[in-house]
Structure 1
């Protein structure tokens, strides 16, 4: 599907690549993804123990990654369990590889 923005057509894959790239545009988000990639899942508190930032800051980074579709969260009151969204993670890898191979 194509979308038009200011008379420029973008392919859906291009828009997804941009969304993924934007989400990866912060070192803390890269660190979170590296942490999650080596685990089946984790809770925000787990990340606070390995990333020296306030829980609210980490939560904001998790929200950005989740909004981009790179991670998913499952509510287990009172906590949220996060894991890599495997489908989108693989898609991001393919899109970036295709972009860099051009």
Structure 2
């Protein structure tokens, strides 16, 4: 019996940093488990010497919903006086960079 491929989730990752900073990844589609995504984004922040709190990787059913969620997070944090650092990171690009 053949296994059915898992449906991909749309996600972005974020983590709070020091001095009212938040780091946000680019949006991406993935079948990876949330703990692996959290760990991968956290590892990238560590490698680039960015202190951070625990990572979150919210999910959405499709790209449009995820873009709306991410835009809301950007706007909310900026309105609250938080410095938003957008990082061009996805799990695929991170894995390719390590090869």
TM-score class normalised by the smaller sequence: under 0.3
**Which protein is bigger by CA-based radius of gyration?**
1
Identify the structure with bigger relative contact order (alpha carbons < 8 Å, sequence gap 6+).
Answer: 2
The alignment's TM-score, normalised by the length of structure 1, stands at 0.25
